[in-house]
Chain A
């Protein structure tokens, strides 16, 4: 490389991008500047719709027919990309700048073998022969640590798991040794333990090839682990820029501060130190306020000053290239804690409401696409035992395929159990499908769904959907009474009563999720199953919805089963935790017991994999090999044995042959593992605060 250290690889200066639709111009990015130096990794953080992906596509000059750059410049190694013609652009794309996307499956051509897709890159850019290209492909596939590279090259994308596909996409980006790599949410679609492996790989490769990176993510923890510098975006603008250490520990923009206060970091506690949500909603592109975009949601807002004129970027004196788009950054007392909301007493759990014993659910699935192969049995749940008390929050943690959703379906009666029992308020319901359950049982166990865009029927008004639930559960004697109750429920979830006549498409994701919560609590249920209720929401909205959910739960003394893959929020929210892997409960106990040693090796890995947005946290490094096995074809013996880093510590082949029993380590803390007591006791905590 001929670059000296002071010519930046990428230099974006006052970039503005707009989309032109029938309704007129929609500015997506305004006055955006940033610099990426050789070997540097810049994180671009923001909530959905803030324009971070648009910046990436702007760099690639691939904005589609409606998008256009309306101002500023993008210089790549000194050349202005906006002035290149199609052929020059093609020489840069994939050769000097490469991109990695969110959905690995969608970004690989389903009808083309992996090898050909990889070989294409050197054949286009370096004019390599097929044999040379193939040799290079093999080398790169090996570099991304995929097993059996020869076989990989011959495979079609669908024959690979999600993690393997993403490694192939990374390999494809590295084929021509680009000087800039743009990663757009590269791990969002993957499971946490798989994500950890990819993050490690990206970091290593960046260091090895000296590639500069533009890392786009909504996850602050991930950016902390991968990047040197950080740029926070809000509503089309960069609001704060600086080194990771400066922005994380000495942020100078209220939005950045709000983001950190709304994510559950170690030390947050739902009773003593609750999360502080950013009030209000993200402004739509055509409804941006005058002056500071964040103004209407900002605690430090001063009328007449913050909304007077567009706010320019200002240097934060003393720090290295640390800038903020806040007029008051030198007036605000950044060290003051959040306005303390009243501390709440921890709730005392009551009697056992829900009890599950030795629950099993097996599915029979057809063998192949034609229904010809022999039917196979999928063991979705394997002897699940749990108890949940009144007002208690039990978290069920696990990655895809662990059986947590099947468990929810069994509880709600969408499926019936193969064996075992479910007792809800003294009544056995494991064999009664939901259609056969009586009204009382149905209304006493309800569910909050994951995807806000799917949870409400787009064809009916919000009020009508809640009223229908009330009607079914026999709440109120007349339509008028039910209408009144529906409006009360809207009050309860803190939405204006006028929302009753709105259609779901007029609501934001967080608002939809609130309606989903109102619907679940309409019949004052005893148990609410919340299936990842906030994972699809933006960070600032997550906190508000989580708070609402716990508040209603506390007031009604409802038992909540909180299904999640996100250990941060689980630690914050749950009283007790159950960890599942491939249909088995591998660990169960109180939150403190599960989050401190001794651990099940899977819990240990899971804890290590979760990115934490706190510079003071030191984590033990446990990265799991490979992917989660398919539930169709589980390994013999212990379900975790194929990936377990501590397998060697168990003598003999017990892990391969015997399913370990759930051992009680005291106070009901159960671990399903063959490891000896000494090894377990000798474990060190994964997360330490330095």
Chain B
């Protein structure tokens, strides 16, 4: 088991190195460097001025050397300085990650239990009316990306001209369409919409996986064994089916995290919540090399750690492949 984890850590490290190098290379492409120079110094520089600025700031040294320097810095805990925010990268990333952490926390709290419940209820009796209704809901929710559901939800709950607000209130809106203030204090009013937007998209996918898994388990021979043993239906579902049915969705939930990153970026942009996703957009549109690199490390780590957890969890849930 230990060796397995070590092996996985090795692969993770290699992946992180490869990916950060690709990001480094992309951000150091000629057009991006030119953009950076004009951004930092003067938008109307001539080509010669750009060249000398780049030369002067060390951007003309060999790529590998500079990448090596950056990696060396990271190993010593120095993530560099952001060229947009003019602050140490570590400080920015830490702060913004905290905000996003809250968002993710609430999204998970809302999304996972409801998705599992929908999936189990639908898969329990395949083909029933409950199943059809819940399945259609889950399909609809996977078909609605955040930028669509966000728009619809804002119109419904946070538009002074349309949706539900004018019906119930004389002035103002039911919920806030902007979540900027949530970095100071989270309230239902300012956080409900971003959380709902994100949870809705992921929910359908997990629910469908759970349903498929549950439906498959319910047709298994051992469920028939239990039924013919005289076990009652609720007891079959809870004691015999549930654990087997949750193995597959667990992996899916874990692999859902990296997908949530795109969602985070969209939602934070849409609701102007200044978390990690919002920072990533700022860094990318300004070619803030060192901030981007750190963002990519964080993203890659999230992906790889969740993969690791999903593998370990899969083994833990499934006694069949437990190490003998």
Note whether A and B form a binding pair: yes
The interface of chain A, by Cβ under 8 A from chain B, is 60, 62, 65, 90-95, 98-99, 101, 103, 106-112, 120-121, 124-125, 156, 158-159, 169, 172, 368-372
Are B243 and A108 in contact (CB-based, < 8 A)? no
Are B229 and A372 in contact (CB-based, < 8 A)? no
Contact residues in A for B320 (Cβ distance below 8 Å): 110, 156, 158
The interface of chain B, by Cβ under 8 A from chain A, is 1, 3-4, 7, 127, 220-222, 224-232, 239-240, 243-244, 315, 317-324
Are B323 and A110 in contact (CB-based, < 8 A)? no
Contact residues in A for B127 (Cβ distance below 8 Å): 65
**In the complex with contacts A65-B127, A156-B320, A369-B315, A108-B231 CB distance below 8 A:** no
A172 CA / B225 CA spacing, docked (Å): 10
A457 CA / B4 CA spacing, docked (Å): 39
Are B224 and A107 in contact (CB-based, < 8 A)? yes
Are A369 and B229 in contact (CB-based, < 8 A)? no
Are A124 and B240 in contact (CB-based, < 8 A)? no
Are B228 and A93 in contact (CB-based, < 8 A)? yes
A57 CA / B323 CA spacing, docked (Å): 38
A60 CA / B228 CA spacing, docked (Å): 7
11 A–B contacts from the bound complex (CB under 8 Å): A62-B227, A62-B228, A93-B228, A94-B231, A101-B221, A101-B225, A106-B221, A109-B222, A110-B222, A111-B319, A372-B323
Contact residues in B for A121 (Cβ distance below 8 Å): 229-230
Contact residues in B for A371 (Cβ distance below 8 Å): 4
Q: Choose one: B227, B240, B322, B323; the contact of A93 (CB below 8 Å).
A: B227
Are A125 and B240 in contact (CB-based, < 8 A)? no
A372 CA / B5 CA spacing, docked (Å): 10
A125 CA / B235 CA spacing, docked (Å): 14
Are B230 and A372 in contact (CB-based, < 8 A)? no
Are B225 and A369 in contact (CB-based, < 8 A)? no
Q: In whole Å, how far is B130's beta carbon from the nearest beta carbon of chain A?
A: 14
For residue B321, which residue of chain A has the nearest CB?
Answer: A369
For residue A125, which residue of chain B has the nearest CB?
Answer: B230
Are A93 and B4 in contact (CB-based, < 8 A)? no
Q: In whole Å, how far is B123's beta carbon from the nearest beta carbon of chain A?
A: 15
Q: Choose one: A110, A120, A372; the contact of B4 (CB below 8 Å).
A: A372
Q: In whole Å, how far is B220's beta carbon from the nearest beta carbon of chain A?
A: 7
Q: Choose one: B7, B225, B227, B324; the contact of A108 (CB below 8 Å).
A: B225
Q: A94-B229, A103-B221 are in contact. List 4 more A-B contacts (CB 8 A).
A: A90-B232, A109-B240, A370-B1, A370-B3
Contact residues in B for A124 (Cβ distance below 8 Å): 229-231
Q: Choose one: A94, A103, A370; the contact of B228 (CB below 8 Å).
A: A94
A108 CA / B222 CA spacing, docked (Å): 5
A65, A98, A371, A372 interface centre (most CB from chain B within 10 Å): A372
Contact residues in B for A172 (Cβ distance below 8 Å): 225, 229
A474 CA / B7 CA spacing, docked (Å): 50
Contact residues in A for B243 (Cβ distance below 8 Å): 111-112
Q: In whole Å, how far is B80's beta carbon from the nearest beta carbon of chain A?
A: 37
A139 CA / B323 CA spacing, docked (Å): 30
Q: In whole Å, how far is A66's beta carbon from the nearest beta carbon of chain B?
A: 11
Q: In whole Å, how far is B71's beta carbon from the nearest beta carbon of chain A?
A: 29
For residue A169, which residue of chain B has the nearest CB?
Answer: B225
Q: In whole Å, how far is A61's beta carbon from the nearest beta carbon of chain B?
A: 9
Q: Choose one: B4, B224, B317; the contact of A62 (CB below 8 Å).
A: B224
Contact residues in A for B226 (Cβ distance below 8 Å): 109, 120
Contact residues in A for B319 (Cβ distance below 8 Å): 110-111, 156, 158
A109 CA / B228 CA spacing, docked (Å): 13
A124 CA / B1 CA spacing, docked (Å): 39
A124 CA / B317 CA spacing, docked (Å): 26
Q: In whole Å, how far is B239's beta carbon from the nearest beta carbon of chain A?
A: 8
Q: In whole Å, how far is A461's beta carbon from the nearest beta carbon of chain B?
A: 32
Contact residues in B for A109 (Cβ distance below 8 Å): 222, 225-226, 240, 244
Q: In whole Å, how far is B247's beta carbon from the nearest beta carbon of chain A?
A: 8
Contact residues in B for A156 (Cβ distance below 8 Å): 319-320
Are A90 and B230 in contact (CB-based, < 8 A)? yes
Q: In whole Å, how far is B23's beta carbon from the nearest beta carbon of chain A?
A: 31
Are B323 and A368 in contact (CB-based, < 8 A)? yes
Q: In whole Å, how far is A616's beta carbon from the nearest beta carbon of chain B?
A: 38
For residue A158, which residue of chain B has the nearest CB?
Answer: B320
